[in-house]
């Protein structure tokens, strides 16, 4: 379907994307775009030139307190960085972190983090383990090292990852509900909007990797009801979690267009790229995709080939901030947004905030799931709360937060044995 300049304004896409619309494609355009992406990928992400002395890592510990997994990285000199790992994934995958990921950082200079990530991928054939179980462990260690580096440099991590471009981020409040009635979902959406003042929301469609008459009736009622309830000023997104086939996705997508929704996430199973491309070509509403991706090369392919117009790397599933910023750079080269997916509890909202603070094409709203109260964490420079739909990004060193020392002291250090 032809995309006009008016459509690009309506759906929040950049004018640069219009230059790469399907009508403009061809051999020259493909070669130019490939060259442009090659150049941006050749640029380093991490900027640690101000750190003149080595930061030799002496220890990488995985801690457990209740349901919370934390990674603590220490240097020979006693510097420390801490991150919170994906709680659900880590309960299953933690032996990979302990046995395959953490040892690769011992004795290495933390300033070489970007190079270490590549070496880790190759070391001991770790590339054969590629997927969520491996990358979610890498992400946890990477964030702890970034926290350490930021503290050593007395800078927030965003300054180490390209430079701060925004101090506050607008959020979209995401609902995880399915199986309720449209009226029940509206009541829930009202509640979470009232709690945060969010100017954007996201709800779920379909039945997660399936649909039937009942789920489709809910979808067809919920889409217009949400717009009528919240009015034209509310930005509305919807996520199908791979529920549909092509004809159904196109029908639902056209209903979303009719009611001015801003993106359509995972209309068909995430790895059905040809099917997703057909849907993207048939609709004006941008297709969002990427939560399940774990290959940078695959991300490049789906972006270059117009499979989606909103790139959504998950900062935990995909292996961390540095790899996700590379996705954002590929997306920027084609004029599209990179709005990360937020998974898990813990400090997921904080990592999204830091990512958006330093990525120019992060999109108008960032995902927020309302899980900020699950850890005893404090920031001197941010309330860590959503106020009037916005969150102030911590500007202190590293991740800009501190975890209650008593909570850390009472955590136990895990080994590779089963919890």
Beta pairing partners, 311? 289, 338
> Looking at residue 16, what is its pLDDT?
46
Architecture of domain 57-157+404-413: 2-Layer Sandwich (3.30)
Which of 5-9, 221-225, 330-334, 391-395 has the lowest average pLDDT? 5-9
Confidence of residue 372 (pLDDT cuts 50, 70, 90): low
> Looking at residue 373, what is its pLDDT?
67
Confidence of residue 416 (pLDDT cuts 50, 70, 90): low
Average pLDDT rounded to a whole number, residues 187-191? 98
Q: What's the mean pLDDT when you consider all of the chain?
A: 92
Q: Is the pTM of this model over 0.85?
A: yes
DSSP 215: H
Kindly tell me the sign of the dihedral angle through the C-alpha atoms of 239, 17, 246, 314.
negative
Is the pLDDT reported for residue 145 higher than 70? yes
> Looking at residue 249, what is its pLDDT?
98
- With beta carbons less than 8 A apart as the criterion, state whether 354 and 324 touch: no
> Looking at residue 369, what is its pLDDT?
85
Average pLDDT rounded to a whole number, residues 17-41? 74
> Looking at residue 415, what is its pLDDT?
81
- What residues contact residue 63 under an 8 Å CB cut-off, 6+ apart? 69, 70, 71, 72, 408, 411, 412, 413, 414
Is the pLDDT reported for residue 138 higher than 60? yes
Average pLDDT rounded to a whole number, residues 47-67? 97
Average pLDDT rounded to a whole number, residues 334-356? 92
Average pLDDT rounded to a whole number, residues 389-418? 93
DSSP 321: H
User: How large a percentage of the chain has pLDDT more than 90?
Assistant: 88
Beta strands 402-403 and 200-204, pairing class: unpaired
> Looking at residue 27, what is its pLDDT?
77
Confidence of residue 36 (pLDDT cuts 50, 70, 90): very high
Overall fold of domain 5-38+160-402: TIM Barrel (3.20.20)
Domain boundaries, the chain: 5-38+160-402, 57-157+404-413
> Looking at residue 18, what is its pLDDT?
41
User: How large a percentage of the chain has pLDDT more than 70?
Assistant: 92
Which of 13-27, 52-66, 109-123, 358-372 has the lowest average pLDDT? 13-27
For 234, how many CA atoms within 13 A lie in the half-sphere containing its CB? 25
Is the pLDDT reported for residue 17 higher than 90? no
- For the purposes of burial, counting CB atoms within 10 Å of the CB of 88, is it exposed (0-12), middle (13-18) or buried (19 or more)? middle
3-state secondary structure of 80: strand
Confidence of residue 29 (pLDDT cuts 50, 70, 90): confident
DSSP string covering 154-200: TSBHHHHTT--S-SEEEEEEEP---SS-HHHHHHHHHHHHHHH--SE
d(CA 262, CA 267): 14
Average pLDDT rounded to a whole number, residues 299-314? 96
Q: How far is CA 89 from the centre of its chain?
A: 16
Average pLDDT rounded to a whole number, residues 113-141? 96
Beta strands 390-392 and 80-84, pairing class: unpaired
DSSP 414: P
Summarised one tens digit per residue, pLDDT across range 149-162 is 999 999 999 999 99
Nearest to 62 by CA among 9, 146, 141, 2: 141
> Looking at residue 10, what is its pLDDT?
46
> How many CB atoms sit inside 10 A of residue 241's CB?
20
18 or 263: whose pLDDT is higher? 263
d(CA 349, CA 112): 26
């Amino acid at each position: 379907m032809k995309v006009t300049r008016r459509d690009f304004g309506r759906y929040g896409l950049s004018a640069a994307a219009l230059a790469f619309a399907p009508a403009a494609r061809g051999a020259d355009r493909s070669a130019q775009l490939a060259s442009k992406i090659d150049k941006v990928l050749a640029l380093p992400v991490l900027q640690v030139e101000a750190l003149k002395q080595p930061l030799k890592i002496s220890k990488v510990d995985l801690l457990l307190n209740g349901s919370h997994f934390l990674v603590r990285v220490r240097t020979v000199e006693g510097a420390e960085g801490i991150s919170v790992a994906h709680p659900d994934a880590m309960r299953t995958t933690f032996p990979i972190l302990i046995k395959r990921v953490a040892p690769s950082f011992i004795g290495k200079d933390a300033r070489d983090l970007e190079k270490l990530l590549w070496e880790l991928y190759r070391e001991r054939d770790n590339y054969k383990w590629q997927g969520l179980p491996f990358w979610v462990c890498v992400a946890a260690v990477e964030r702890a090292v970034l926290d350490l580096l930021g503290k050593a440099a007395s800078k927030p991590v965003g300054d180490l990852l390209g430079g701060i471009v925004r101090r506050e981020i607008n959020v979209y409040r995401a609902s995880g509900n399915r199986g309720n009635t449209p009226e029940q979902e509206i009541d829930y959406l009202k509640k979470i909007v009232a709690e945060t003042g969010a100017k954007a929301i996201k709800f779920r469609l379909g039945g997660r990797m399936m649909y039937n008459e009942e789920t489709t009736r809910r979808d067809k009622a919920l889409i217009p009801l949400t717009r009528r309830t919240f009015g034209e000023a509310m930005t509305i997104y919807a996520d199908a979690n791979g529920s549909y086939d092509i004809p159904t996705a196109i029908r639902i997508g056209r209903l979303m267009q009719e009611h001015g929704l801003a993106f359509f996430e995972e209309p068909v199973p995430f790895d059905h790229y040809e099917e997703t491309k057909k849907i993207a070509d048939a609709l004006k509403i941008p297709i969002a995709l990427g939560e399940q991706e774990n290959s940078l090369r695959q991300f490049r392919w789906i972006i270059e080939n117009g499979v989606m117009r909103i790139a959504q790397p998950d900062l935990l599933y995909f292996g961390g901030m540095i790899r996700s910023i590379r996705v954002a750079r590929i997306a920027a080269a084609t004029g599209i947004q990179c709005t990360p997916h937020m998974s898990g509890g813990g400090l997921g909202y904080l990592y999204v905030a830091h990512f958006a603070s330093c990525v120019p094409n992060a999109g108008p709203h960032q995902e927020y799931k309302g899980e900020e109260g699950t850890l005893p964490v404090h920031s001197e420079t941010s309330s860590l709360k959503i106020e009037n739909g916005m969150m102030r990004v911590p500007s202190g060193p590293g991740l800009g937060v501190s975890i209650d020392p008593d909570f850390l002291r009472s955590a136990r250090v895990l080994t590779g044995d089963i919890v």
